[in-house]
Amino acid sequence: MALKNDPHSFSTIILAAGISKRMYSRTPKILYRILGKPMIQYVVDIALGLNCEEVIVVTGKNKNEVKKVLGKKVKYAVQETPLGTGDATKKGIVFATKPNILILYGDVPLLKNETISTMIENHFKENGDLSVLTCKIDNPAGYGRIVRDKNGKFIKIVEHIDANEKELKIDEINTGIYFGSRKLINDALFSLKTNNKQNEFYLTDIVHTLIKEKKKVIGFQIDNPDEILGINNKADLARVREIIKKKWFEELMLRGVYIEEPATTNIDLTVKIGNFVQIRPFTIIEGKTEIKDNSIIGPFVWIKDGIKKKIKL
């Protein structure tokens, strides 16, 4: 638990107000369940796992639906009109009370707690004003590039559309995840302009503002691009789901659960499984289900909340 007036304490703002047009769905993107757990819950759990005492979720018109899922353990801000990530962050920061701010995204559920924890530790060790999480990826097209000097010092972010031939070859990108002083971020946010074709407030512009003001901006690089995978469409959703499923199944099997055919088996994260259990092919286990010791489940079985369902063939 953070000490009162702890200068290292922070509020987390989770941006979750996007319209998600590319999902082609009536269900808000951040409420899609991945192995039984809502996407937004993964991100909230990242913040809570860092002992963050104040989590602020910025929603759009989907506030009531999000509130039903997350309840009272977080604060809510609303972005009524989609005016960009900078505007959404402004809506959230007015509710923040801690001296520092962590900015995350509701559709990036694979971040590891230790990644953010290490970034924050490095931020204070280096006496930074703002830390930018960066990553090297194979195909950086469309992303803002991180420009450093010959000593590796962070110089600037260049958007893809503005990059020259040399800068386009840079494979280190801006993830959009930031940590820094609430006061500096707040001041930078409220100085943002909409000087772009979309007429929106871009969160990235706070980095440019702080660099111009000679503040210490740190680029904290990670090497695993899976962590920063964002979900923009259902293909992305399936890709992220497979990564989470693989990790979950490995955990189960290392505990002694025998999953004969992982490719045809689905088990929610909410399922409790005992010892010496065997899961046969074409088995789906969902919800609040408990599998007792020495059980053999399947093949061709669907169990939800402990109740066996019919499988349509």
Residue 283 sits in the same domain as residue 213: no
Residue 190 sits in the same domain as residue 303: no
Q: What is the pLDDT of residue 161?
A: 86
- Beta strands (DSSP E) in 62-99 are 75-78
- Using alpha carbons only, how large is the chain's radius of gyration in Å? 21
Residue 110 sits in the same domain as residue 172: yes
Residue 107 sits in the same domain as residue 41: yes
Of the residues 22, 148, 182, 280, which is catalytic?
A: 22
Residue 21 sits in the same domain as residue 166: yes
54's enclosing H/E stretch is: strand 54-59
How is the chain split among helix, strand and coil, in percent rounded to 5?
A: 30, 25, 40
* Residue stretches of the chain with pLDDT short of 70: 1-5, 307-313
Q: What is the pLDDT of residue 308?
A: 55
Residue 160 sits in the same domain as residue 260: no
Which one of 177, 211, 228 terminates a domain? 228
Enumerate helices (H) and strands (E) in the chain, giving the number of each: 8, 20
Distance CA 275, CA 68 (A): 34
Indicate whether 122 belongs to any domain. Answer: yes
Indicate whether 177 belongs to any domain. Answer: yes
Residue 288 sits in the same domain as residue 199: no
Asked whether the beta carbons of 262 and 256 are under 8 A apart, the reply is no
Asked whether the beta carbons of 57 and 66 are under 8 A apart, the reply is yes
Q: Which residues sit opposite 219 in a β-bridge?
A: 132
Annotated catalytic, 22? yes
> How confident is the model over 103-143, as pLDDT tens digits?
999 999 999 999 999 999 999 999 999 999 999 999 999 89
Residue 220 sits in the same domain as residue 129: yes
For 284, which DSSP code? E
Distance CA 120, CA 94 (A): 22
Q: What is the pLDDT of residue 126?
A: 97
Distance CA 224, CA 238 (A): 19
Q: Which two tokens mark 14?
A: 């989770």
Indicate whether 38 belongs to any domain. Answer: yes
Residue 143 sits in the same domain as residue 261: no
Residue 213's domain comprises 10-228
Indicate whether 247 belongs to any domain. Answer: no
Indicate whether 290 belongs to any domain. Answer: yes
Number of domains in the chain: 2
Q: What is the pLDDT of residue 77?
A: 97
Indicate whether 243 belongs to any domain. Answer: no
- Beta strands (DSSP E) in 97-192 are 100-105, 130-136, 145-148, 154-158, 172-181
CB atoms within 10 A of CB 194: 15
Which one of 228, 245, 275 terminates a domain? 228
Residue 65 sits in the same domain as residue 168: yes
Residue 220 sits in the same domain as residue 170: yes
Q: What is the pLDDT of residue 310?
A: 53
For residue 116, the domain's CATH number is 3.90.550.10
Asked whether the beta carbons of 82 and 41 are under 8 A apart, the reply is no
Indicate whether 246 belongs to any domain. Answer: no
Indicate whether 47 belongs to any domain. Answer: yes
Residue 65 sits in the same domain as residue 106: yes
**DSSP symbols for 205-218:** HHHHHHHHTT--EE
- Beta strands 278-279 and 301-304 are unpaired
Which one of 179, 212, 228 terminates a domain? 228
